[in-house]
């Protein structure tokens, strides 16, 4: 996983509308980049709605939120609309960016071991350097 002081990998992924979004699109702003396993599941919904509920405070700090999961853009648009999410949800079907941030790894659930999303949040400065990692 990336740590404080690390430079973030390049992000260039389609959002819920299919438009390709990159960190450079938000030059001069801080970014809250969070990785979550699956649209419209209990934990992921709680997390997304938490960001939604403080989104105005995040904007006031000259920052944006980007949610990333391996779900499709079509799945993201349903999730966004259902919960009125005001930020971009990016689709990383190949998990390239997810792996680049170190948010992909071995997980265990009900005695089964598998590879999947490690729920993670990174706050990047205006130069895309990690200033906090959770």
Which stretches within 61-115 are classed as H helix?
Answer: 73-83, 96-100
Q: Could you tell me how many residues make up the chain?
A: 134
The active-site residue out of 21, 32, 44, 68 is 44
Residue 49: active-site member: no
Burial 56-95 (b: 16+ CB within 10 A, else e): eebeeeebbbbbbbbbebebbbebbeeeebebbbbbbeeb
91 forms bridges with which residues in the sheet? 69
Active site residues: 44
């Amino acid at each position: 996983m990336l740590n404080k002081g690390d430079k973030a990998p390049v992000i260039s992924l389609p959002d819920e509308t299919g438009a390709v979004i990159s960190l450079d699109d938000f030059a001069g702003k801080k970014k809250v980049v969070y990785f979550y396993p699956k649209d419209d599941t209990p934990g992921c919904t709680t997390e997304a709605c938490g960001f939604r509920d403080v989104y105005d405070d995040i904007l006031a700090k000259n920052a944006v939120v980007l949610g990333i999961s391996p779900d499709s853009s079509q799945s993201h648009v349903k999730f966004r609309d259902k919960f009125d999410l005001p930020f971009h949800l990016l689709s990383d079907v190949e998990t390239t960016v997810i792996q680049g941030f170190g948010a992909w790894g071995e997980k265990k659930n009900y005695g089964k071991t598998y590879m999947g999303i490690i729920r993670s949040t990174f706050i990047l400065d205006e130069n895309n350097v990690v200033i906090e990692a959770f």
